[in-house]
């Protein structure tokens, strides 16, 4: 393969690992409190909003895979240049880098807030962020295969925490789900819109696709990953709606972690402390892939060594935490990232797929002519 991205065959990995990559990137900090966000929009019909969101996400996966399959061994940064030229393409690339960077910052700040609220209330934000980034830098320096391996591990820890939902499931009040279909269509759509904020992460396909061997299988495994994420979000939301009253759920910021309070083992009374610690492994694939993608994009634009860019981006992230000390400001960041992510992943992916389709038709007509 002549493409510079894929010239080294040793960094390739099997297509089935796409399942773990996509799923681990969709499952991060958001799963700890997604129930409240959806419930505020569509109440006890929140599970219907999740169904709608899944349909939209499945369509987006198909669009992304169509774009990538058309260009074969190019990532999104190279596709932009191929479609729009060097200058315009790099402007789009910088916008993508800014989005991913902001998403990385929001994930780190959210997890830092969880640590401060549940385990170490007196620990400074910059100290927690620095520790997280040191682990992330170490993983990124290990290369794409190391990052994929972490996502593989993170998947099984996600499964294990999901099984813990069996305990609060026994205390469900089934009347909390009635009346069914009380929410209006606009409310259901707003709930689906909010759900999409949590399950963003499928865009990682844009960056890892050139490193996958059996590219024809990517679509299948990506759809399986999205379906699994849908089941996981549906499960935690379903249990939370039944476990809490409506007023409780509206006031509970991290509903998933709060449900873990009732779980006790003979030698471990505060299971939620363990859950918060394990959550680091769940969000680690997010931070690894995002920092890797940001540095990769900047390398494409500015032609600087990727390792230097990883360090520079990490320093900027640590310095940025000084501006996000209050929860209100962090919430604004998360909301803005979610809105921009929705338009980039849902709207832009469909638009880009349409542009690629028209381009393909134009090339075929040119060849026939």
CB 241 within 8 A of CB 173: no
Tens digit of each residue's pLDDT (9 = 90 or more) over 141-196: 999 999 999 999 888 877 776 777 888 888 888 888 888 888 889 999 998 888 88
Q: Reduce the secondary structure of 73-114 to three states and give it as a string.
A: CCCHHHHHHHHHCHHHHHHHHHHHHHHHHHHHHHHHHHHHHH
Mean pLDDT of all residues in 229-235:
90
Mean pLDDT of all residues in 299-318:
94
Tens digit of each residue's pLDDT (9 = 90 or more) over 10-32: 788 999 999 999 999 988 777 77
Domain boundaries, the chain: 4-368
Cis peptide before 179 (omega within 30 of 0): yes
Q: For residue 200, which phi and psi values (nearest 5 degrees)?
A: -60, 145
Yes or no: domain 4-368 corresponds to CATH 1.20.1240.10: no
Mean pLDDT of all residues in 282-309:
93
Q: Sorting pLDDT into bands at 50, 70 and 90, what band is 8? A: low
């Amino acid at each position: 393969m002549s493409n510079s991205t894929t010239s080294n065959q040793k960094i390739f990995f099997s297509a089935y690992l796409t399942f773990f990559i996509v799923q681990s990137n969709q499952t991060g900090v958001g799963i700890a409190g997604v129930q409240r966000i959806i419930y505020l929009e569509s109440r006890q019909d929140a599970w219907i909003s999740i169904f709608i969101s899944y349909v939209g996400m499945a369509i987006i996966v198909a669009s992304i895979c169509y774009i990538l399959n058309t260009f074969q061994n190019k990532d999104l940064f190279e596709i932009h240049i191929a479609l729009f030229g060097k200058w315009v393409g790099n402007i789009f690339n910088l916008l993508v880098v800014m989005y991913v960077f902001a998403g990385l910052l929001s994930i780190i700040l959210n997890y830092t807030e969880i640590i401060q609220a549940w385990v170490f209330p007196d620990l400074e934000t910059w100290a927690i962020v620095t520790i997280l980034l040191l682990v992330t830098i170490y993983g990124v320096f290990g290369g794409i295969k190391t990052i994929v391996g972490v996502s593989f591990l993170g998947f099984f820890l996600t499964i294990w925490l999901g099984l813990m939902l069996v305990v609060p499931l026994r205390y469900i009040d089934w009347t909390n789900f009635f009346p069914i279909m009380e929410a209006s269509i606009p409310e259901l759509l707003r709930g689906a819109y909010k759900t999409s904020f949590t399950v963003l992460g499928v865009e990682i396909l844009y960056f890892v696709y050139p490193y996958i061997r059996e590219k024809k299988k990517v679509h299948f495994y990506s759809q399986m990953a999205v379906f699994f994420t849908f089941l996981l979000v549906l499960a935690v939301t379903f249990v939370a709606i039944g476990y809490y009253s409506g007023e409780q759920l509206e006031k509970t910021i991290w509903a998933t972690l709060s449900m873990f309070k009732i779980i006790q083992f003979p030698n471990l009374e505060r299971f939620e402390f363990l859950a918060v610690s394990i959550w680091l492994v769940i969000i680690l694939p997010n931070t690894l892939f995002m920092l890797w993608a940001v540095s990769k994009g900047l390398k494409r634009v500015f032609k600087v060594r990727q390792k230097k860019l990883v360090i520079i981006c990490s320093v900027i992230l640590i310095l940025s935490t000084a501006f996000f000390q209050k929860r209100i400001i962090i919430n604004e960041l998360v909301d803005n990232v979610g809105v921009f992510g929705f338009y980039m992943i849902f709207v832009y992916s469909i638009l880009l797929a349409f542009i690629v389709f028209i381009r393909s038709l134009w090339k075929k007509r040119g060849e026939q002519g």
